[in-house]
Amino acid sequence: MGAMSPIISVSNLSKTYASGFSALKSVDLDINRGEIFALLGPNGAGKTTLISIICGLVNPSSGTVTADGHDIAKDYRAARTKIGLVPQELTTDAFETVWATVNFSRGLFGKPRNPALLEQILKDLSLWDKRDSTIRTLSGGMKRRVMIAKALSHEPQILFLDEPSAGVDVELRQDMWQLVRRLRENGVTIILTTHYIEEAEEMADRIGVISKGEIILVEDKTELMRKLGKKQLTLVLQQTMAAVPAALAQYNLALAADGEELVYTYDTKAERTGITSLLQDLASAGIRFKDLNTSQSSLEDIFVSLVRERK
Amino acid sequence: MSAMAVNIHAIRAIYMFEMARTWRTPLQSIVSPVVSTSLYFIVFGGAIGSHMPTIGDVPYGAFIVPGLIMLSLLTQSIANASFAIYFPKFTGTIFELLSAPVAWWEAVIAYVGAAATKSVLLGLIILLTATAFVPLRIEHPVFMLFFLVLTAMTFSLFGFIIGIWADGFERLQVIPLLVVTPLTFLGGSFYSIEMLPSFWRTIAYFNPVVYLISGFRWSFYGLADVGIAISLAMTLVFLAVCIAVVGWIFRTGYRLKN
């Protein structure tokens, strides 16, 4: 396997549930080795179905998936050995101790016992003090840590985090992202789904957007931000305005805040943003302003507008 | 890595996990079946048995021992194995098994192995308990052990199927309560099939449990309602059917994967 070949390759993957609901429609997706890939999409878009198929929890209706070159159906042992999954739901064995359940996970994935490694994982997740506690006595955040420890116990090369921040406090979220970064430094590929778009914006190398069972966009995060990133210049006027003067029509200005603000939307990647001429024209039209600010559209804005476009 | 022919670590992990569950709940797993079996001995063996004639040359109290062990063995094998696989389904922890590099037959060996181990141990404990109440003789000890293990395995496998099929706690109980318990009571636990009127005797031969109890009792006293070869064959057929059903379940993902 070359270093540049995708670590996960999904091709023509479809899933129609028995109810007739079509959760995935002919999805193609490559995940690069060693990247953090964020899969964004509204509820019911097919994020969890896609992850569940790759991890072996759901049978696909058609299509293929390979993990590190191994077909997930024909060569499931080799494929699954590479993969760790932290599911969305907190499903743990209530009556087991943390130590027992993490050991169990490692064995289940075909690895010999390795207490030193598990100790390190538990320490990294601030669980070492809780190793002899039964899981039901732990808080929700601690249970989430246990789920992560279980998924890491067999040293996976690919880690799936399905909505990892759902119901998690700030401290754990930051611990988790630190861990994710450390894992990536060690060459682990991470695929996460999230509703916290700022998280994807902060963490991910690449972003995929899924909507109604179709991947509608896969893009480098910075590229995506640049390509779709629009900037807005807001001018707070000294005197309210009823309508944009005809002399300024070419700038497609919008009035906001009951005529107190003029908003100019421009493209950051364009050679000429038009700001200089706009300001000159404003001055010659005698329009004075008391304040101005610029803002860049966030990934969330991009995401919302993308999903809206499809509707 | 891909040459991992058998995931021994996984089989061991599941097996140990299941056994640990037993030691954690000794009252439910070991003490309660022993107590209820002892009650049978006191009521049927002591109180009623003293007014019953011997069957062949076997006193009634001793006669019911193999049937009582079978009763516990069937009930406990099914309960152990069905709960072992139903509970992870109920709580959702089964996702881990489904996402692990574990072949279906490895999961079956581990779960069914653990359930069968528990019920064999339980059968032996009941056997020991019985010696405190009635005089026992075992004419074919090796066959007795073999039959104990074979039955425990077969019915643990059957329980495993029930656990996968069940989609609620009620369904988990339906087959053991409404099918297995009646079949066991009517299967000659407490009497010889020969004692039945001929019509009911014919009906009884359709009851698979008759063959189990008869074969098992033969290993104790050399007495059997049906030939030992037939008993053995019937048990093996049931085992084969269960294996086939479990194989089908995992191949299709029935009730496990959407």
Ranges in chain A annotated CATH 3.30.70: 230-297
The sign of the torsion formed by the CA atoms of A77, A47, A64, A67 equals: negative
pLDDT band at A229 (very low <50, low <70, confident <90, very high): low
Q: What b/e string do you get for B184-223 counting C-beta neighbours within 10 Å, with b at 16 or more? A: bebbbbbbbbeebeeeeeeebeebebbbbbbbbbbbbbeb
Q: What b/e string do you get for A170-190 counting C-beta neighbours within 10 Å, with b at 16 or more? A: eebbebbbebbeebbeeebbb
B257 found inside a domain: no
Report yes or no: A216 and A45 within 8 Å, Cβ to Cβ.
no
Instruction: Please tell me which residue, B4 or B153, carries the higher pLDDT value.
Output: B153
B220 found inside a domain: yes
Among B99, B111, B257, the strongest candidate for a mutation testing the A interface, having the largest count of A CBs within 10 A, is B99
Out of B10, B16, B93, closest to residue A110 by CB: B10
- Does B2 sit within 8 Å of A75, measured CB to CB? yes
CA Rg value for chain B:
19
- Domain with B12 in it: 8-252
Task: Decide if the complex's ipTM is over 0.90.
Answer: no
> How many C-beta neighbours within 10 Å does residue B95 have?
19
Give per-residue pLDDT as tens, A181-193. Answer: 999 999 999 999 9
CATH architecture of A230-297: 2-Layer Sandwich (3.30)
Give per-residue pLDDT as tens, A300-309. Answer: 777 777 777 7
| Residue numbers of A between 82 and 111 with CB closer than 8 Å to B | 83, 85, 87, 89, 91-96, 100, 103-111
Tell me how many domains chain B contains. Answer: 1
For B3, the closest chain A residue by CA position comes to A78
Report yes or no: A24 and A42 within 8 Å, Cβ to Cβ.
no
B34 found inside a domain: yes
Per-residue pLDDT at A49 exceeds 50: yes
B98 found inside a domain: yes
Out of B13, B99, B258, closest to residue A85 by CB: B99
B2 found inside a domain: no
Concatenated DSSP letters for chain B?
Answer: -TT--S-HHHHHHHHHHHHHHHHH-HIIIIIHHHHHHHHHIIIIIIIIGGGSPPBTTB-HHHHHHHHHHHHHHHHHHHHHHHHHHHHHHHHSTHHHHHHSS--HHHHHHHHHHHHHHHHHHHHHHHHHHHHTTS----S-HHHHHHHHHHHHHHHHHHHHHHHHH-SSHHHHHHHIIIIIHHHHHTTTSSS-GGGS-HHHHHHHTT-HHHHHHHHHHHHHHS--SS-HHHHHHHHHHHHHHHHHHHHHHHHHTTTT--
- Does A100 sit within 8 Å of B20, measured CB to CB? yes
pTM confidence score: 0.83
Q: Could you tell me the CA-to-CA distances from A20 to A15, A17, A23, A57, A196 in Å, in that order?
A: 10, 5, 9, 19, 30
Give per-residue pLDDT as tens, B101-138. Answer: 999 899 999 999 999 999 999 999 999 888 888 888 99
What is the separation of C-alpha A27 from the centre of its chain, rounded to a whole number of angstroms? Answer: 17
Place of tokens 């309960």: B79
Instruction: Please tell me which residue, A54 or A258, carries the higher pLDDT value.
Output: A54
Task: Tell whether A21 lies on the interface with B, counting CB pairs under 8 A.
Answer: no
B1 found inside a domain: no
Averaged pLDDT of chain B: 88
The confidence score (pLDDT) of residue A1 equals 45
- Reference B217, options B158, B155, B148, B117; nearest CA is B148
Sheet holding A158-162, edge to edge: A83-86, A158-162, A189-193, A36-40, A206-211, A214-220
Q: Could you tell me the CA-to-CA distances from B199 to A105, A215, B202 in Å, in that order?
A: 55, 68, 5
Q: Which CATH number fits domain A8-225: 3.40.50.150, 3.40.50.300, 2.50.20.10, 3.40.630.30?
A: 3.40.50.300
Concatenated DSSP letters for B22-74?
Answer: HHH-HIIIIIHHHHHHHHHIIIIIIIIGGGSPPBTTB-HHHHHHHHHHHHHHH
Give per-residue pLDDT as tens, A148-171. Answer: 999 999 999 999 999 888 777 888
- Does B101 sit within 8 Å of A77, measured CB to CB? yes
Averaged pLDDT of chain A: 89
Contacts of A109 in chain B (CB under 8 A): 9-10, 100-101
Place of tokens 């014919």: B202
For B256, the closest chain A residue by CA position comes to A57
| Percent of all residues in chain A with a pLDDT value above 70, rounded to a whole number | 95
